[in-house]
Amino acid sequence: MTGQLLIIGCGNMGGAMLAGWLAAGADPARFSVLDPALPAAPEGVTLYREAGEAVAAAAHDAVLLGFKPQQLRDLAPGLQALTGAGVTVCSLLAGITRAQLCAAFPAARAHIRVMPNLAARINKSPVILAEAGLGEGDRAAVFALFDALGTAMWLEDEAQFDLATALAGSGPGFVYRFIDALAGAAAELGLAPDMAASLALATVDGAAALAATADVGPATLADRVASPGGMTREGLNVLDEGAALHRLLVETLRATRDKGAALSKGG
């Protein structure tokens, strides 16, 4: 993984990861992209429009699968020449297991499930990793590559991968929805929409930054904001009534996790 990486399907996530690696100082010449629809690749990154071009170049040691998981069955046969002996297959395909990757690309030397989020673009993403076929030295190199995008971590129990994906991969979508809802609620109650949006974003940004550096957990921080009998406590009482927020998020993560299982079955 210290060699050449070919990104197959450089959409939102693949593009964010590539931008993050380049922002971290990686040599653009280490990366190439296979994507017929991408308008252009970053300077110094080779762009292939067809698989045959990448095969002819024979210049990669690993591939990163960035297309939709539903496309695996149709695309895998045409990618065999790119995933042969000596090539490590890294997959962003939600719900697709290591066993399915091994079956789809049997000649590859190793298979790795990878799940970051879009904060990879600014090197602030958690990156979940689950592998099959790597030696210790290879594991260290893979970890270093993906840790450059934020905070990488190995997940040894693959059965938990869909749940970890629901939290760390899909989680930003839920946070963005919360920011939008917080701003929308303030606007509905009378605050100017532009001001409500700016305040909501700044509030979440500051709260997250403080939580990341605090020596206590978020629950304690919430209590520190809320004086007994004060305004914040009154609002927390609404969120805490019947564990409403907790139950909502349990169901949110459950639905997201279960979709991963459905995707592995083609659903």
Note the pLDDT tens digit of each residue in 37-77: 999 999 999 999 999 999 998 889 999 999 999 999 999 99
Same domain, yes or no, for 146 and 199? no
Q: Helices marked H in 113-160 — which ranges?
A: 136-147
Q: Is residue 165 part of a domain?
A: no
Mean of pLDDT values over 99-103: 96
SS3 percent helix, strand, coil of the chain, rounded to 5, is 55, 15, 30
Query: What range does the domain containing 197 cover?
Result: 171-263
Q: Which of 135, 157, 179 is the last residue of a domain?
A: 157
Domain check: are 223 and 143 in the same one? Answer: no
pLDDT digits (tens, 9 = 90+) for 125-153: 999 999 999 988 899 999 999 999 999 99
- Report yes or no on 176 lying in a domain: yes
Backbone angles phi, psi at 90, to 5 degrees: -110, 135
Q: For the chain, what is the domain count?
A: 2
Helix, strand or coil, per DSSP, at residue 83:
coil
Whether residues 29 and 144 fall in one domain = yes
- What tokens does 185 get? 């609620």
Q: Does residue 222 lie within any of the structural domains?
A: yes
What's the count of helices (H) and strands (E) in the chain, helices before strands?
Answer: 11, 8
Residue 229 scores a pLDDT above 80: yes
Per-residue pLDDT, 136:
86
- 162: in domain: no
pTM exceeds 0.75:
yes
Which residue matches tokens 């995707």? 263
pLDDT digits (tens, 9 = 90+) for 219-228: 999 999 999 9
- Measure the CA–CA gap between 137 and 140, rounded to whole angstroms: 5
Q: What is the CATH number for 195?
A: 1.10.3730.10
Residue that finishes a domain, picked among 107, 123, 157? 157
* Average pLDDT rounded to a whole number, residues 72-97: 94
Percentage of residues in the chain with pLDDT exceeding 90?
Answer: 93
Answer yes or no: are the C-beta atoms of 5 and 63 closer than 8 Å. yes
**Residues 85, 137 within the same domain:** yes
Phi/psi of residue 98, each to 5°?
Answer: -65, -40
